[in-house]
Structure 1
Amino acid sequence: MGKRTAMSSWELVFKRNLATLTRNALRAQTRTANAVVKHAKANAKQPPPTPGDWLSGMAIGLGGARRYHLYRPPDLLAGERLPLLVMLHGCGQDAAGFASSTRMNAIARRERFLVLYPEQDRLASAQRCWNWFDTRNGRANAEVASVLAAIDQVGLLHPVDRTCVALAGMSAGASMAALIASRHPARFKAVVMHSGIAPGAAESTATALAAMRGHRLPAPLLTPPGQALPPLLVIQGGRDAVVAASNGAAAASAWALAGGAVGGTSRSQQRGQRHPAQVTDFKHRGRTAATLVHVAQLGHAWSGGAANQPFSDAQGPDASRMVWAFVSRHFAPVQAVGQPPERVVSAARPAFNLSWPFNAPALPPLKGATLHR
């Protein structure tokens, strides 16, 4: 009996000590979390102000936790569902910087769609590069899952029309966008690569460097059974010193080959004094599988982006307009619940023509940005 009493007393003391340690640990974790949040808010970068909401979130996938930002246009209607454009930044960028460079939020406000900016973590890459090439060890697959987790989370928490989702990216973000679309083609209506490399051109760091120099061609693209690749738009600069210009044509050709498409006659387009571009469509039975926009005078920069941002060339044709013109063609009209027919929210344009971004008036400069024409 005495032994049992002694044991009970020991258990009681142990439980009390454990409870105390647990409370102290939770308090310490809470203080740390609050400090991290306070520091993040104090140091958070903001894109140029655009009416609407700039929201922050975090999603957890196989690649770990990834922060993201979401632009939501103002004056949402009850029951309204909007298209979603996923924008993946390049190396040396973050979500706010990419939003500032592309000015995509201004287009989203006018055309009424949501823009998701997943953000690479410095723990995953010191330069914030998406690991699009590490398919040999599974790292790239894990990051694909993490981006998909962010898309799924935003789809649950915000008014997303899940039948109207597209991907776009710059540099490493372009390569990651194409990789995601090739692995999960049924989830996306269109994909845009700006200065990127096609899936299958690399499987390790060494082969990625060779591919960036233009020394490797992508392997034939394989898609899940019964699923076709979504249409692809490739924008590539001829003076790109980071990603060899040959990668643009290689990506478009690989995508076209997977869809049985062939290239047509290139056409030249130019708006005002901006850099001219050569546009080539790859079609199969009247359907455009890929479009290549080659801008000979463009370097490794977002074409037509804000002039005061890195990785941005204001003299190029407006890539952001091209992105939306391309992806919106593949979105079906969306009608909000309870809306009368005359207020159908439509993301589609009557006919896709890449002359639209070249001939349309320029976007007004945003506060804090200088736009040279």
Structure 2
Amino acid sequence: MRSINRSVKAMARATQPARRALARTAAPATPRVASRARSEPASGRFTAGVALGPGGMRRYRLFVPTAVPAGEPLPLMVMLHGCGQDAADFAASTRMNLLARRERFLVLYPEQDRMASAQRCWNWYETRQGRAQAEAALVLAAIDQVCLLHGADRNRVALVGLSAGAGMAGLLATRHLHRFAAVVMHSGVAPGVADSTATALAAMRGRRLPAAQVQDDQRDLMPWPPLLVIQGQNDLVVHARNGAAAAQRWADAVGARAAPARILQRGQRYPMTVTDFKRSGRTLATLVAVDRLGHAWSGGAGRLPYGDAKGPDATRMAWAFASRQFARPRPPSPER
């Protein structure tokens, strides 16, 4: 844990100039969230909540667009922040709420507690002691609470994570395969690669391979949700090899094969290499390797740490990917 925190602190020091500039123009964290929520009364509500579970409690933020008729089930995007962030930071960096306002979906931002991690990192790798599983259960409890209290559609839930949040998203999705229609991992490590601090550090440096693959006769019994991986090729925190490994891990689990890669560029944004992994004509995993992108949300708010406005818009990519999966019928699950 201390080694992970030292790595994160080094990354945070590199972003201190941006943080100081932001601090000069913004109020402290809690008032800033309240001010932002009050400034958008006609567009949506950004409310606070708490989820409880065997692992304790976690706060969360929920964005609800306005003018939603009572009883209308809306899709839910679950956003898991990275180290050095909280729910409000992640919302501001990704600007997912702006898209949710226009496209009409709910956005849930579970928040890691400083008592669990000084740098607010999700402990995605602490599986030996069960700490990772306990945190995953708390995220799931927040999802269940939002579905119950705010009418989110349980059949249209997508999980999105950045860095440590991506690691937690991978863990949560593979432990509850039927609960999610889509998963997006941005700058994260494939599930099953690490189970301790030492193995997590090795994985982040690109020195560990994914766990053993699922056998052919198990694939039809393992309906993994489709996965979108977004990975910066200049990432100095989570090595670029991890993006390809995560996509390949998913593809192997569902028996998908890689289609020819294609290079895309939108305007003056960084170019990206896109590889789809398909089975029976359906794309079950997609890898987006972004040239020149470091450890930051692609297309995120450039004035904030962990956002790079020059990258292709990961927020739009995540929603477009999830909405395609929402449109597909899904088999019933005993977990629902």
TM-score class, shorter-chain normalisation, is 0.7 to 0.9
Measure the CA separation in 2 of the matches of 1:99 and 1:91: 14
Measure the CA separation in 2 of the matches of 1:252 and 1:84: 23
| Secondary structure of the corresponding residue to residue 181 of structure 1 | helix
CA contact (8 A) 1:199 1:221 kept: no
Aligned length: 296
The aligned counterpart of 1:93 is: 85
TM-score, normalization by structure 2 = 0.84
Write the deviation string for residues 339-367 of structure 1: whole angstroms up to 9, x where unpaired. Answer: xxxxxxxxxxxxxxxxxxxxxxxxxxxxx
Of 281, 292, 300, 2:276 maps to: 281
The aligned counterpart of 1:310 is: 305
Change (3 A) 1:135 1:314: same
Gaps spanning 5+ residues in structure 1: where? 1-38, 335-373
Write the deviation string for residues 10-52 of structure 1: whole angstroms up to 9, x where unpaired. Answer: xxxxxxxxxxxxxxxxxxxxxxxxxxxxx99657566585420
CA contact (8 A) 1:47 1:97 kept: no
Change (3 A) 1:45 1:277: farther
The aligned counterpart of 2:56 is: 64
1:75 aligns with 2:70: no
Of 44, 49, 52, 1:52 maps to: 44
Q: Sequence identity of aligned pairs in percent?
A: 65
Write the deviation string for residues 275-310 of structure 1: whole angstroms up to 9, x where unpaired. Answer: 000000001111211000001210000000112111
Change (3 A) 1:333 1:294: closer
| Range that drifts further, 245-254 or 154-163 | 154-163
- Cα RMSD, aligned residues only: 2.0
User: How far apart are residue 149 of structure 1 and its match?
Assistant: 0.6
Measure the CA separation in 2 of the matches of 1:47 and 1:182: 35
Of 276, 281, 285, 1:290 maps to: 285
CA contact (8 A) 2:177 2:223 kept: yes
The aligned counterpart of 1:22 is: none
Change (3 A) 1:300 1:249: same
Of 114, 136, 141, 2:106 maps to: 114
The aligned counterpart of 1:124 is: 116
Measure the CA separation in 2 of the matches of 1:99 and 1:187: 23
1:243 aligns with 2:243: no
After TM superposition, the runs of 4+ consecutive aligned structure 1 residues lying more than 4 A away are 39-50, 221-225
Measure the CA separation in 2 of the matches of 1:40 and 1:300: 23
User: How far apart are residue 62 of structure 1 and its match?
Assistant: 2.4
Measure the CA separation in 2 of the matches of 1:286 and 1:45: 46
Of 264, 272, 280, 2:267 maps to: 272
Measure the CA separation in 2 of the matches of 1:53 and 1:41: 15
Change (3 A) 1:44 1:79: closer
Of 146, 165, 189, 1:154 maps to: 146
Gaps spanning 5+ residues in structure 2: where? 1-27, 330-336
CA contact (8 A) 2:222 2:254 kept: no
Of 205, 209, 227, 2:222 maps to: 227
Of 257, 261, 265, 1:262 maps to: 257
